[in-house]
Structure 1
Amino acid sequence: MKIQYNFVEFKDIESKFDKKEEFGKREDVFGTLVRVENSKMVPTKTTSGAHSKTMRDITIVNKENQFMEISLWEDMAINEGDKLQKVLEQNPIIVITNVTAKKFLGALQLQSTVRSVLKLHQNVQRLNIWSKDPMKLMIH
């Protein structure tokens, strides 16, 4: 079964973030994994009070050598994050769906949501990924 992704280019994320009608929209991104931080507990505030959540930052790079930081939260930070740490030296291509954008300390950053799915593609040839139309990439 083929999965259809609707990728957004890194350069378009900030302009979408600045448009109110696009703010909070979930996007799909992909790139080569270049950094995985250790997971950490981050204090958060909700309407029911202060809590701590597990978070892990990763960085991917696209064909144009643009870097994008993505914060993985909770189970994704722990489970998928541990897998990513183990394969980091292989610089795998990852696909992450349903991410949202936010500004943190003035820098644009993506973050996973409860609907996000992370796919690890270690055996995909780079030429297949960086195709003529990577925004319509289909992966088996």
Structure 2
Amino acid sequence: MPRVYSNILDITPTSDKNWTVLVQVVELGPTQQSKDLKNYRRLLFTDTKGTTMPAIIFSFHLKHFEHVFTLYRKYYVSNANLITTDPHFVDGPYTHTWSLTKQTLVEPHANETITPLPCKLYKHAETGTNQNIRGVVVRCFPSHKINPGQPSSKRDIVIVNEEKQPMILTLWDSFDTEEGQALEEMLENTPIIYAMRIKVTTFYGLSLTTRKESAIMINPPVPDEVKLLDWKASNNQELLELLNRESYKNVDELLPYPEETDILPSAIAREMMKAVSLHVKLIKYATFPT
């Protein structure tokens, strides 16, 4: 019988091939297309210790797993192939990605009760230009095509959290047609979202937008969800006023004047820009010698 592990960290390329781990599905991404036009799908699992681990299903095996996984459910996964994760995409202590194939055994956990996810998965964090955000969806605008006759589409939604600053989050393509459509249908029930790996943009002064690697969870089973709903109910009137005056487009509110301590004399600012420019040139010449 395969040995059942409770910790993903125990599974490494040197592990005995006959292994099984109980995991919970945290992210279930849409089918995407790589640069060489091959389809793939990304998932994210968590174990009973709260350690997260990415998984990927490549084109030849997509059909096999089409109806296997359900978001937030638990599964026993056995004998997936391990791939070393690119260091730029490592998010946590586990440095491998599981490749799921037809030879990978996946069995649903007998208990269908959804276990609350560890809150540490969704702490506000920032990696490069991406960030993870949590908020209540308070407005959902219609979807529209970017160019007639092309599949690309977008939808703006307005989210707000305890900071009481509504912001626009733009959902592109599959995020529009799947999560965006679902949010529109449940808007009256105050949906909560966790949006991960979201890019901050200067559109509307300051806004958010999905990227290819983003993920959106709607009403995830986490303890903080109830607190956020209670906060929204207590501040509902103020939030309505913010929406009515479209503060999510107001640059003065989104980008307030800087503190005195953050204002630099122009001479110092010029010297800092020169230093950055010189640093970029040195990197360029060191990387691409003539």
Same structural fold, with TM-score higher than 0.5 when normalized by the shorter chain: yes
CA distance in 2, matches of 1:99, 1:128: 22
Distance in 1 (alpha carbons) for counterparts of 2:166 and 2:201:
15
Instruction: Report the CA distance shift for 1:117/1:129 in structure 2 as closer, same or farther (over 3 A).
Output: farther
Aligned residue in 2 for 1:66: 165
Distance 1:71 1:112 in 2: 6
Superposed counterparts of 1:90-129, under 5 Å: 90-105=189-204, 107-121=205-219, 124-126=225-227
1:88-113 C-alpha deviation (Å, 9 max, x unpaired):
111121110011011125x1111001
Q: Which has the higher helix share?
A: 2
Letter in structure 2 aligned against 1:108:
L
> CA separation of 1:29/1:83 partners in 2, compared to 1, >3 Å: closer, same or farther?
same
Please name the residue that 1:134 is paired with: none
For residue 41 of structure 1, the aligned residue among 139, 142, 145 is 145
Partner of 2:65: none
Extract structure 1 runs of 4+ deviating beyond 6 A.
Answer: none
Task: Identify if the C-alpha distance between structure 1 residues 60 and 128 changes in structure 2 by more than 3 Å, giving closer, same or farther.
Answer: closer
Match for residue 136 of structure 2?
Answer: 32
State the Cα RMSD in Å. 2.8
Q: 63, 78, 82: which is aligned to 2:177?
A: 78
Q: Secondary structure at the match of 1:101?
A: strand
Q: Secondary structure at the match of 1:125?
A: helix
Shift of 1:36: 0.7
Q: Which amino acid aligns with 2:210?
A: S
Q: 5+ residue gaps in structure 1?
A: 9-15, 17-21, 44-50, 131-140
In the alignment, is residue 53 of structure 1 matched against residue 152 of structure 2? yes
Instruction: Give the count of matched residue pairs.
Output: 109
How do 1:8-27 and structure 2 match up within 5 A? 25-27=129-131
**1:1-31 CA-partner distances (Å, limit 9, x unpaired):** 43612415xxxxxxx9xxxxx8x61111011
2:124 is aligned with 1:7: yes
Q: How far off its partner does 1:64 sit? A: 2.5
Shift in alpha-carbon separation, 1:94–1:52, aligned structure 2, 3 A: same
TM-score by length of 1: 0.67
Q: TM-score, normalised by structure 2?
A: 0.34
Deviations 1:57-83, CA, capped at 9 Å, x for gaps: 001111131111100000001111010
Instruction: Summarize the Cα distance change of 1:5–1:127 in structure 2 as closer, same or farther, 3 Å threshold.
Output: closer
Residue ranges of structure 2 left out of the alignment (5+ in a row): 1-45, 47-117, 232-290
Structure (1/2) with the larger strand percentage: 1
Sort the Cα spacing of 1:87 and 1:127 in 2 relative to 1 into closer, same or farther, 3 A.
closer
Q: Distance in 2 between matches of 1:83 and 1:76?
A: 10
Q: Which has the larger radius of gyration?
A: 2
